[in-house]
Amino acid sequence: MSRDEKTIRIAPVTRLEGHGELTVKLTKAGKVKDVQFNVSSTRFFEKFLEGRFAEEAPRIAPRICGICPEPHHLAATKAVEAAWDITPPPAAVKLRRLLINAKQYSSHALHFFALAAPDFLAGPLGDPALRNVVAIIKALPDVGKMALEVMQFGQELAAAVGGKAIHPVTSTPGGMLNPFSEEKRDEFLKRFEKAKEQTLATVTLAKKVVQDYWDPITKLAVTPTYYLGMHDKGNLEIYDGNLRVMDPTGKIVADFKPKDYRKYYGEYVPNHSYATHIYYKPDGYPKGIWRANSLARCNVADKMATPIAQEALQEMRDALGRPIHATFAYHWARIIELVQAIEEIEGLLKDPDIVSKDVKLSDVEPKKGDGVGCVEAPRGTLLHHYWTDEKGIITKVNMVVATNNNIAGIEKSLMDAAKQIFEDKVHESLQLPDPMIK
């Protein structure tokens, strides 16, 4: 490093799930030379799943993430079912949809209230001691209580279906090990009305935040990238569907079954991050860098699958267009997805099949083969690919986990933001509201 350069290191990046540091290199003239998002840990699940009974993968893989274990639990199950040519009973699929939506709901609420909201309620220039959910709970107790209750509904519903919310256990190749009882169904139907009310209250809060922060949202880190997301006949979908890739102009350049992913997924290993950079293979790296997660899903889908969420999506598109490149709009898209999650939960709880006892095949046999299991986790498209031998023992694993899809895009948006801040001094003229927490 030359004497004239300056290196800024943020260690660690906080309110992040996982381990990351940020390295920004500035030239003497104050120009941004380089921005690195250094993801500094990985645990090698792709290797230590080798040699394991494949039906144990749905128990092991959720340990990849304590916030989104349900998607891993289900992607692992689907991968084994694909490898062994198994179709689970329809009622089991409905239970799995209930499980993944319960998790989508609690995770999106956790992100909004605990990870994102502190910046908006205390302000980006606020005291670090106040910029966290603990301070929110203290300063805005009604908001804090509502946040906890919203998360509780999702987590307890996930536990009711999955056995436990953190590292669920009931999904297995062939179906579910435990049906959903009528008692539980009735309990959650009763609690549902309040949850729906609170969801709509969260939407109102989110809209206020968007209004107050309109200037930074539309100015900072508006980063054109490709987008990846799952859909079912054009509707935003998180359990089972095809994948779409949209280019920065808004053109859908690919629409494929997850099992064909290797034609479209490129994985570039950067020298400065243990999390790799995923990109749209036909267009090369770095041009094809894509982002996944809420905004990407909202970009690639024609519409939401449920009515109130669709109204909310239309509102966002009326304001910001399609595709939306504004990085901060991810928070808005996340709230739109929160609405779809509660609407899907409503539909499933009211479906008489949800308490069916016919939720598992009893004649599941392993075979030699390979299979891809793909779902949408809260943070993005999650893909597990397993190869098994004739005994059903895993011989090889390839995974592209949800957040993995976003690493390159995060770095790109950070580069944009760094230039805007260090070179253009944009932050000095941003219109920011008076913080709610001081």
Tell which positions 232-271 bind other proteins, by CB under 8 A. Answer: 261-262, 265-271
Return the range that interacts with other proteins (CB under 8 A); candidates 140-148, 207-215, 217-225, 421-429.
140-148
Nearest to 243 by CA among 218, 260, 268, 220: 260
Listed as own residue / partner, the contacts of 8-12 with beta carbons closer than 8 Å and 24 or more positions apart are 12/40
- Residue 195 near residue 347 (C-beta atoms within 8 A): no
Q: Dihedral, CA atoms, 419, 424, 429, 430, nearest 10 degrees? A: -20
Measured CA to CA, the distance from residue 141 to residue 147 in angstroms comes to: 10
157 binds other proteins (CB under 8 A): no
Of the candidates 60, 246, 313, 354, which one interacts with other proteins according to CB under 8 A?
A: 60
Q: Please give the residues from 361 up to 400 whose contact with other proteins meets the rule CB under 8 A.
A: 362, 364, 385, 391-393, 398, 400
Q: Which is nearer to other proteins, 194 or 262 (CB)?
A: 262
- Residue 79 near residue 372 (C-beta atoms within 8 A): yes
64 binds other proteins (CB under 8 A): yes
36 binds other proteins (CB under 8 A): yes
Of the candidates 27, 31, 33, 42, which one interacts with other proteins according to CB under 8 A?
A: 42
Burial class (CB in 10 A: 0-12, 13-18, 19+), 324: buried
14 binds other proteins (CB under 8 A): yes
Of the candidates 5, 12, 90, 186, which one interacts with other proteins according to CB under 8 A?
A: 12
CB of 173 to other proteins, least distance (A): 5
103 binds other proteins (CB under 8 A): no
Return the range that interacts with other proteins (CB under 8 A); candidates 127-135, 210-218, 320-328, 411-419.
127-135
Q: Which tokens go with 193? A: 């009305």
148 binds other proteins (CB under 8 A): yes
Half-sphere exposure of 288 (CA within 13 A, CB side): 18
Q: Which is nearer to other proteins, 326 or 418 (CB)?
A: 418
- Residue 41 near residue 206 (C-beta atoms within 8 A): no
Measured CA to CA, the distance from residue 228 to residue 255 in angstroms comes to: 10
Question: Tokens 């670090």 sit at which residue?
Answer: 128
17 binds other proteins (CB under 8 A): yes
Is the C-alpha dihedral spanning 324, 290, 307, 184 positive or negative? Answer: negative
Q: Which tokens go with 213? A: 């922060």
Of the candidates 93, 139, 140, 169, which one interacts with other proteins according to CB under 8 A?
A: 169
- Show Cβ contacts of residue 187 under 8 Å, excluding neighbours closer than 6 positions: 160
151 binds other proteins (CB under 8 A): yes
Rg for the chain, CA atoms, rounded: 22
Q: Which is nearer to other proteins, 60 or 203 (CB)?
A: 60
Q: Which is nearer to other proteins, 278 or 304 (CB)?
A: 278
Please name the helix (run of DSSP H) or strand (run of DSSP E) that holds residue 201, with its range, or none.
helix 182-212
152 binds other proteins (CB under 8 A): yes
53 binds other proteins (CB under 8 A): yes
Of the candidates 198, 276, 310, 403, which one interacts with other proteins according to CB under 8 A?
A: 276
Of the candidates 202, 223, 273, 340, which one interacts with other proteins according to CB under 8 A?
A: 273
56 binds other proteins (CB under 8 A): yes
Measured CA to CA, the distance from residue 270 to residue 274 in angstroms comes to: 8
177 binds other proteins (CB under 8 A): yes
Return the range that interacts with other proteins (CB under 8 A); candidates 107-115, 315-323, 326-334, 337-345.
107-115
Return the range that interacts with other proteins (CB under 8 A); candidates 187-195, 301-309, 358-366, 373-381.
358-366
Which residues, listed in sequence order, are joined to residue 122 by a DSSP beta bridge?
Answer: none
